[in-house]
Structure 1
Amino acid sequence: MKTRVYILLFLLLAAAPRLCAQCGYLAGKVTDLSGANPLVASLSAKTDQGKLRLGKSDSLGVFKVEMPCQLTELIIECPQFQTQHIPVNINGRPEGTFSISLAMMPLGKQTSDEPYAQSEQKHFELKDSLKAVSIVRRIEVRDALSDQRLGADICLYYTQKQKKDCFALTTDRPRAEIVFTEKDIVAVEVKSVGYQAYNGNLILDKTDEEPRTYIIKLSRQQTINIKGQPIAPQPVAIVRNADALKGAVASGKTLYFPRSDYKLPVQSRTYLDSVAAYILENKDKGLRITGHTDNVGNPSLNVTLSEYRVRVISRYLIGRGVPEGVIAAAGVGSKYPVRPNDSEENRRLNRRVEVQIIDLDSKSN
C-alpha cells in the first residue's frame, strides 16, 4: 500500500511544474466536421511549464474548462479523429467565459492504395516488393469544409529507395501525377498556408495500372485570441520555515483536499471570492494560508504536496486582485495534524489548507 502511495506522490510531483494560475474559462462544443455529431474529446493546455490536462467534453460534446493564464496552445484529442493544436494568444488577464467551436477531422484507417494518418500505422510487410510495376496516381489537396482545391507543398518519403521527393500544387497546377515504379510504403507530408499539416502513409501493394486520384483534405488552422485586463499575476512565495507558523490557528476557513491531489476544490471558489473582496476593501488585513497533509508517504514529499495546495489557493486569490504582499503562505506537510492519522476519516480531515484573516501587523509573527 505504501509503495502505491509513493508512486502516486511521485507522479503528482513530477507533474507539479504544470501548475498554473487560472484566467477565466473556455467553453464550447466539439463535433465532427458536419457539426451534427457531438464528440467526447479530451482538452489539454500547452504552457511554458508543460502540458496540462483541462478536462473533457460530455456526451453532447459540450465542455467548460478552466483556462490557465499561461496557455499558449489548446490541444484537442479524440479517438479516430485528427488531434488539433490551436495556438492561443492571451493579452492581459482575462475574466469570464470565452466560447469556441471545435470541429474534428476524421482519421483514415490503415488500408491499401489510399492515404491514411501515420498515427493509425500498424505492422505491415510488403510481398514481392522488388517486382517492377507502373502505378499512376494523382494527388489533390482540398479544404475539408468547402471542398475547394488548395495550393500545397507535398513531400513523399519512399521506404524502398530511401528517397525524398517534393513538389508544389498551385492554382495553375492543382493536381500532381506520380508514377510509382515499385511496391512501397510511402510517407506523405502535406502543408498549406493557413491549414493544419497532414502526415500520412500510403501502402502501394497492388499492381493495378488503372490511374486513380487521392483527395487529401486539410482543416483550417484556428487561432484563439483572448483579450483581458492588463494585470500580470505574480508568483507566490512559499515559506519553508514551518516553525514560523507554529501555533497559528485558522479563524477563517479550512479547505479540504482529496488524497494526493492539489487541484482547487470547486466548492471553495465562492468562499475565496468573498475573502478576496474583503481583503481588497480592508487594506489593514492580510492572509495566512497554511497547507497540511496526512502522514501517508514520504514526509518531504508531503511538504511539497502541501506547498502546492497552498500555491493553488494563493494564486487564485492573486487572480482575484489580492496583492501578493499581504499573503503569508506555507506548506508544512504532516507536521501539525488536527486528528490522529488512525482512520481514513481522520486522515481526510488532516488533508487541508487553513485560510486565516489576520491583521497585517501580525503577518510576520
Structure 2
Amino acid sequence: MTYKSLLTFICAIVLSLTATFGQITENPAVEEQSADYVKIKRVELTDQYTIIYMQFVEVEMPGNRQLDPFFRRMPGQRPGMTSSTIGLDPETRLYKPGDINTKFKLIKAKDIPTEMRKEVNAGDTVNFVAYFERLSPGIEVFDFYEGRPKSKTETTWNFYGVKVKNPLKKNSKAVAKTIPQKEKPKPSVAEVKPAEKTEEKPSPVVVEEEFAMIKGTVYDAKTKSQIPAQITYVEKGDSLQFKSSSGNYRIGIDPKSTYEFRILAKGYYGTNFSLAPADSSAKGSFTKDIYLTPLAVGETISLPNIYFETSKFTLLTESFAELDRLAEMMKENPDIRIRVEGHTDNVGDFDKNLELSENRARSVKTYLINKGIDAQRIEAKGFGATKPLAKNGSEAERKKNRRVEFVITQI
C-alpha cells in the first residue's frame, strides 16, 4: 500500500468515526447560568441524541450554607446541615434561543434521578449524563431549560447560550423534527372501489406546555457597560432571585401570571418594572434592558412613580413603593445625603408653581423621615417651572416636566 493510499484510508476512517460518533464539544462556552455549582463538561451529538455530560459539586461546609433561593433542601432539613438533594426535572428541554417552538425533549438520564431526589453531602461530586432529542443540524447555540423554581428553597439548572459544534450538513437541508408521511400513489380509475364506512375517531389533543421567557442586560446608565446585578421577582407567592455576574439575564416565566421585577446592583440605584405577558402582543419571548444610575455625588436620579393629588402636595398611595425603595437605599448607604427636588410645568401662576413644587419636595422628605431616615440627610427644594426637560408645547411634554428627582449631595 502506497503512502498516499494509506493516508486516504486513514482519512476515510476518521470521517467514518466522525459520522458515527457525531460532533463533540468539550467544556462548551455558556453565556449565562442559574447555578455556578453545576457545569456542562461535554456535549456530544450523535445520529440519535444530544448527549450532555454534566457535573454537580456540593461545596458547602457545615454551618456555612445560608438559606437562599439556590438551596434545595429535603423536607424537615435545617439550615446549616451538610446535605441537600438533587434531581433532573423530566420536563427539561433544549431550546433554540428566541424560538420556544423549536425544542428538544429529555429522553433519559444516567446517574441522576428524574422522578425523585438524590441526597448529596458536602464535598460530593456527581457526574451525570442527560440524553435529549438530537439538535437539528445548524443549531450551534441552545438553551438548557429545566424550568422555574417551584419554591424559594430550590433552584433549577438553566444554561443559556450553550455553544456547540453542529454545522449544517453540506448539500443538504436541516431535517425537521416532524417528517410528514410520504403520499401513497393514487390508484388508477379501474382500481377505485367504494370506500368502506369506518367509525371516525377524534384526533388526540396535543397539549403544548406553556412557557415564556424574559431576557435582557443590565447596564451602567453613564458608561453603557454591563454590570453584575440581582433580579428579584415574585411567582405564586414565592420571592425568587436571579443573580447575574455579567449583567445578562434570562428568566422563564408563566405567560398567564403578572410579574413585578426588581433590579439591584451594588453602587447603583435600583429600579422596578412590571410584566403581564397575557396583555402583551409579544408571545413567548420578551426583551427588557435595564439602565441603572450609579450612586455618585452630583448624580440626579428621577423618581418616576411619584404621584400627588391634582394641584396639591398630598402623596398618593401609588408613590409609596418608589419612596420605600429610596428609603431602603439610604439605609443601606448611611453616608449618603440627598436633595429632593420638585418640578412643575409652566401652566398657571409662576409663584404658585414654585410653592407647589417646594411643598411636594417637603412631602417626600417627610415620608422618608417617617421611614426612619435622619432629617439632616435630606434637603428639600422646589424649582417650579424653571428647569424643564421639554418645551411644554404639548401635554406629553408638560407631563414630562412635572416630576420629582433627587440629587446625591454626599456619599
Is the TM value for this pair above 0.5?
A: no
TM-score normalised per structure 2: 0.28
Q: TM-score, normalised by structure 1?
A: 0.31
More strand by share: 1
